[in-house]
Amino acid sequence: MNVLQVATLNRPVRPDVGYGPIETVVHNIDKGLHTLGHRSIVACSGDSCVAGEQYTTIEKSFSEYWSKNTRVQRENMRRHLVLSLQRAKKGDIDIIHMHDAVMAEYIFKGVIKSPVPLVMTLHVPAEEKGAFKRWNESLISSSRAYFVPISEYQKKQHHGLVNAQKVIHHGIDVEDSPFKNHPGTHDYLFSIGRITQDKGQDNAIEIAKKTGARLILAGNVQNKAKDRAFFSRLRKSIDLVMPGGNPPAGSDYYEEIMKPILASDKQIIYIGEVDSAQKKLWYRHARATLFPIQWGEPFGLVMIESMACGTPVVAFRKGSVPEIVIHGKTGYVVDSIDDMTEAVRAIHLIGRGDCHRHIKDNFSIASMAGKYSELYQAIVNERTICPRTFL
C-alpha cells in the first residue's frame, strides 16, 4: 500500500517534538505503516524527520501551535496542500491520509481535486466542527472521503457524518517508554498539557494541596488571551516557575534538571514545555498522572503515554476517559474533586505492570497502524469492485 500522509504544519513531524499532538499521531502512523512494510510518504515541513519517505513542501513549520491567521501562513498552507496533491497525481499513491480540517476544506470547496480516496482522521471535537458540518451538508455517500473518529465518544458527537468509519484509537511506541514496576524514590503527582482552563490545571493544584502532595505541572501557554489570563491566575498558586528553554546539549536531564527540582522544598512547580524524552522521565518517576479535564476531550494522548510508563492515571469522567482508563486497574475515573483526592490517596492499589500491559495490548503503534492498513485496503478494494465519484 502506498500512503501519502498530509501532515499539519504547526510543529515538525518528528519523534522528539514537545507539544504537538497531531504531529505526534502523524509520526506514529508513519512509523507503524513503515514497520508493516507499507510505503509511507509524509508531506511535511523540512524540519521534520520521518520513518518513511519525507516529501518536503515548505522549509520550516510554523513553530507556534496556535497563532494569528496570517497571509503568509495561509499561503504556506495552500502551497503545502497543492504540492501534496501534485505528489499524489504521479500515479503511485493509493490513499491520501489527512489530519487538518482547514487544509481539507480546500478540497471540499472544490478548489483542488483529489486524484485518490481520502481518509480524514477526526482530531477535532464536534463543537468545533464547523468545516465538517458544511462538508457533510454537500457530501453524498458515494464521495471518496472516509472519516475516522478517534474514540467512541467522538463518534457519537459526529453522529450522522457521511462515511464515518470504525473508531481507531491512537497508538504510541510502548517499547520506547521507560517502564519499571516502581516509580522510584521521588513522590510527586504529574500533570501535563496545554495550560488552559479546559485542561484543569487549577483542579490539579487544588488536589495537590488537599493531599499534601508535590505537583509537577508541564505544558505550554499558547498565545491566546484566555490562556495567558488563565496562567496569570494560576501563577498565584505556583511556588516555583522554572526558566524556559531546553537544557544544554549533552546534559543528563534526570541528574542535572529533574533531581535538583525534586530536591527543592517547593510544592507546586511549573516546568514549562518539555520534549518527548523529558516528559517520559517525568511520567516514569511520578506516583500518578492527574488528568482533571473540564471538557469532552476526543482522546487524550497524555493518558496512554503515562500508563505506558507504568504510571496510573486519575481522571475526570469526561470525553473518552472511560474508554482509555480501566477504573480500579490502571487508574481511577472519578466525578469530583473530592473523589479525585481520595483516588490519589488510594493510588498505591494500582499495579504499574497492569498499566503498561493495558497500553501494550490496546494502544500500541502496531495496533493503530494495523487498523489503518485494513481500512486503506478495504477502501482500495471497494474502489476496484465498485468505482465511486471523486470529490
pLDDT tens digits, one per residue of 215-269: 999 999 988 899 999 999 999 999 999 876 667 655 788 988 999 999 999 999 9
Q: Considering Cα of 68, then 69, then 75, then 80, what sign does the dihedral take?
A: positive
Cα 369 vs. chain centroid, distance in angstroms? 15
Answer whether residue 129 shows pLDDT above 60.
no
Answer whether residue 136 shows pLDDT above 80.
no
pTM of the model as a whole = 0.91
Average pLDDT, the chain: 89
Q: How far apart are CA 133 and CA 117, in angstroms?
A: 20
Q: Quick one: average pLDDT of 189-197?
A: 96
Quick count: other Cβ atoms within 10 Å of Cβ 330? 26
% of the chain residues with pLDDT over 90? 69
Residues of the chain with CATH 3.40.50.2000: 2-171+364-385, 174-362
Q: How far apart are CA 24 and CA 103, in angstroms?
A: 18
The residues that bridge with 96 in the sheet, in sequence order, are 4, 118
Residue 139: what pLDDT? 64
Banded model confidence at residue 28, pLDDT cuts 50, 70, 90: very high
Banded model confidence at residue 108, pLDDT cuts 50, 70, 90: low
Residues 4 and 41: beta-carbon distance below 8 Å? yes
**Distinct helix (H) and strand (E) counts, the chain:** 15, 13
- Positions of E strands within the chain: 2-6, 39-45, 53-58, 95-98, 118-122, 145-149, 188-192, 214-218, 240-241, 268-270, 288-291, 313-316, 331-334
Burial 102-134 (b: 16+ CB within 10 A, else e): ebbbbbbeeebebebbbbbbbbbbbeebebbee
DSSP sequence for 44-83: EETT---SSEEEEEESS--SSSS----HHHHHHHHHHHHH
Q: DSSP state, 256?
A: I
Where does 2-171+364-385 sit in CATH, by number? 3.40.50.2000
Quick count: other Cβ atoms within 10 Å of Cβ 389? 8
Does the domain spanning 174-362 belong to CATH 3.40.50.2000? yes
Q: Quick one: average pLDDT of 61-84?
A: 81
Q: What is the phi/psi pair of residue 252, to 5°?
A: -85, 105
Q: What is the phi/psi pair of residue 76, to 5°?
A: -65, -40
Indicate the burial class of 84 (C-beta count within 10 angstroms; 0-12, 13-18, 19 or more). buried
Answer whether residue 385 shows pLDDT above 60.
no
Q: What is the phi/psi pair of residue 167, to 5°?
A: -65, 135
Residues 149 and 169: beta-carbon distance below 8 Å? no
Using DSSP's 3-state secondary structure scheme, residue 232 falls into helix
Q: 251 or 135, which is more confident?
A: 251
Cα within 13 Å of Cα(315), Cβ side: 32
The residues that bridge with 327 in the sheet, in sequence order, are 331
Q: How far apart are CA 132 and CA 301, in angstroms?
A: 23
Banded model confidence at residue 128, pLDDT cuts 50, 70, 90: low
Q: How far apart are CA 383 and CA 373, in angstroms?
A: 15
Instruction: Name the nearest CA neighbour of 19 among 223, 255, 183, 222.
Output: 222
Residue 382: what pLDDT? 79
Residue 103: what pLDDT? 72
Instruction: Name the nearest CA neighbour of 305 among 257, 343, 270, 356.
Output: 356
Answer whether residue 62 shows pLDDT above 90.
no
